[in-house]
Amino acid sequence: MSFLGVEESLTGRRWVGPALEIDRAAEAIAQHTGLPRAVTQILARRGVETSGAESFLAPSLRDLLPDPHVLKDMARATERLLTALRNRERIAIFADYDVDGGASAALLLTWLRQMGHGATLYVPDRIDEGYGPNEQAMAQLAAGHDLIICVDCGTLSHGPISAAAGTDVVVLDHHLGTETLPVAYAVVNPNRQDETGELSHLCAAAVVFLVLVEAGRQLRTTGTAGPELMAMLDLVALATVADVAPLVGVNRAFVRQGLRVMARRARPGLAALADVARMDTAPTSYHLGFLLGPRVNAGGRIGAADLGARLLSTDDPHEAEALATRLDALNTERRDIEASVRASALGQAETRGLDAALVWAAGAGWHPGVVGIVASRLKEASGRPSIVIGVENGIGKGSGRSISGIDLGQPIQRLAAEGLLEKGGGHKMAAGLTVAEDKIEAAMARLTELLEKQGAHLAGAADLTVDGLLMPAAATVDLAEKVEQAGPFGASAPAPRYAFADMAIRFARRVGETHLKVTFGDGSGPTLDAICFGAYDGPLGPALENHGGARFHLAGRLDINTWRGRQSVQLRLEDAAPA
């Protein structure tokens, strides 16, 4: 049965309320704990028992941190790092160009610097070198270094790692591995084929953190004090959210504690980035994913690939300010490029059809730095796994995003093994690929076939899950703060969504190119402000702006808005339906 009788909203979705058993569990938790129903509803949805409510609301890193030794090669990797430190060896860090890679590199650079040791940072150019280690770069690094540490990459780099002849290579990664590993000194990766999978949700920065935890333990056995690792959790939190890692288990504690560290503004790079992003409140997972993360990523997408890692690792406030300013400008440029590619890709995908098991588009000159973002937009528009490929000089470089329950990484690896792709890899929800232009059609047809076997073609427009009803008067700062205690929210832990029934639109105004500002109420009490991002990319903007006095059911998530030191609640509006 649909929630509020909404079978088809303005965005074409059915609204679905909490199941009866969730309601009952939420009521039971509320009775035993005295917590607000808005909070216990979240706990019930996450499967938290009454006895575990308190520990869930205050996740302890001490209780949730896994023993680093559960990961294979952990001892070898850590011992090799400490040997290089003791012997003053020359260390190079080869990092991926995204947030996870930059944060992973920054963790190691910061740790080594605090131990009085430097390292060379190498981040490959997305366009000229592509993802991961390449033979030329690895050979050059090997010529001048004793140890190369690959972070957020390397698990599939058999040839390039072999090219680092005479130099030990340690891989700290989380991408899906194949049955064979490269000939590295150590490969620490929770997604190796011979791992249990219990820690498969970790991002690369979390893997690096575990290595540093083990390094700290080994240092203490010799009477040496290592750097304070808790102060580095801001980097782990940023990477976890930006890489869309599931916020479950220890990831919740990483992000929760990392946000507290970030609020202290002790890291010059993140403080400068928060300033250029005009953040005037304590950071939340939303800020990490939508304000800070995209700016860190901008360098790897369309600028100098190492800008993000340099920003996150610098201890110089002046350098941080300059790097943050440059990244902010690049992010603006990235948005313009993305908008152009998105329009072309969506048009092409619509012509091909949005109801297949795979939605894809390819175009000459499409910037490879934005194809992943555009693939996310196609996925959102279609509710299907999506691939977007930019073609240059006969070679296509693409990025894919999947939907819940559909594994994209494994079929991409299979296509590479079958020779349809020059290379490809990733994980369940995101993947990258390189393909010859004349093989794009055949590769996408084969990928469609593999995704059909998983049932991707059966996915419909995603239902909109609603956690409960609220009145505008109940949407207070106090309620929003209590709800936030059940966070952080993100992948696999969505923020609660509330419906406001039979509301009158009191004010509606277009903001910028595609956003809508709304004030609504029930006519008998306080009104509530709302912001709808991208409203004019679909039917919401025109319908609500030109409401003609009609009343609507509205649905969205609560945000705390700060303006000139004053806090208020606003609704991040996601959907609406005629009342």
Q: How confident is the model at residue 1 (pLDDT cuts 50, 70, 90)?
A: confident
pLDDT at 107 over 80: yes
Q: Which of 200, 246, 207, 251 is nearest to 107 (CA)?
A: 207
CA contacts within 13 A on the Cβ side of 193: 9
> Which tens digits make up the pLDDT trace of 155-178?
999 999 999 999 999 999 999 898
Report the C-alpha dihedral over residues 275, 101, 435, 379, rounded to 10 degrees: -50
pLDDT at 564 over 80: no
Cβ(30)–Cβ(37) below 8 Å: yes
Query: What is the bridge-based pairing of β-strands 528-532 and 186-188?
Result: unpaired
pLDDT of residue 492: 84
Whether omega for the bond prior to residue 488 falls within 30 degrees of 0, making it cis, is: yes
220 vs 469: CA distance, rounded Å: 53
187 vs 171: CA distance, rounded Å: 5
CATH fold group of domain 3-17+466-578: OB fold (Dihydrolipoamide Acetyltransferase, E2P) (2.40.50)
- Rounded mean pLDDT of 217-226? 94
Lowest-confidence range among 7-11, 404-408, 506-510? 404-408
CATH fold group of domain 68-328: inorganic pyrophosphatase (n-terminal core) (3.90.1640)
How high does pLDDT run on average in the chain?
94
CA contacts within 13 A on the Cβ side of 48: 27
pLDDT of residue 44: 95
Task: Reduce the DSSP state of residue 274 to 3 states and report it.
Answer: helix
> Which tens digits make up the pLDDT trace of 422-447?
989 888 888 999 999 999 999 999 99
Task: Reduce the DSSP state of residue 570 to 3 states and report it.
Answer: strand
> Which tens digits make up the pLDDT trace of 463-494?
899 999 999 999 999 999 999 989 999 888 98
Q: Which helix (H) or strand (E) holds 55?
A: helix 53-57
Cβ(320)–Cβ(339) below 8 Å: no
Q: Where are the chain's structural domains?
A: 3-17+466-578, 20-58, 68-328, 353-458
Residues 6+ apart with CB under 8 A from 138: 94, 148, 157, 160, 161, 163, 164, 169
140 vs 143: CA distance, rounded Å: 5
Backbone angles phi, psi at 391, to 5 degrees: -110, 135
Task: Please report, for residues 294, 512, 553, the alpha-carbon distance to residue 534 in angstroms, rounded to integers and kept in the order given.
Answer: 17, 10, 19
Instruction: Record the tokens describing residue 205, joined without a space.
Output: 């920065």
pLDDT at 281 over 90: no
What percent of the chain is modeled with pLDDT above 70?
A: 99
Instruction: Record the tokens describing residue 102, joined without a space.
Output: 């930059």
Instruction: Record the tokens describing residue 131, joined without a space.
Output: 């993802």
SS3 of 149-181: EEECCCCCCHHHHHCCCCCEEEEECCCCCCCCC
pLDDT of residue 399: 95
pLDDT of residue 385: 95
For every residue of 412-471, DSSP letters joined together read HHHHHHHTSSSEEEE-SSEEEEEEEGGGHHHHHHHHHHHHHHTTGGG--SPPEE--EE--
pLDDT at 247 over 90: yes
Task: Please report, for residues 91, 131, 160, 382, 484, the alpha-carbon distance to residue 187 in angstroms, rounded to integers and kept in the order given.
Answer: 17, 18, 14, 37, 37
Tokens 């966070």 belong to which residue? 487
307 vs 348: CA distance, rounded Å: 33
pLDDT at 382 over 90: no
> Which tens digits make up the pLDDT trace of 111-145?
999 999 999 999 999 888 888 999 999 999 999 99
Q: How confident is the model at residue 459 (pLDDT cuts 50, 70, 90)?
A: low
CATH fold group of domain 353-458: Diaminopimelate Epimerase; Chain A, domain 1 (3.10.310)
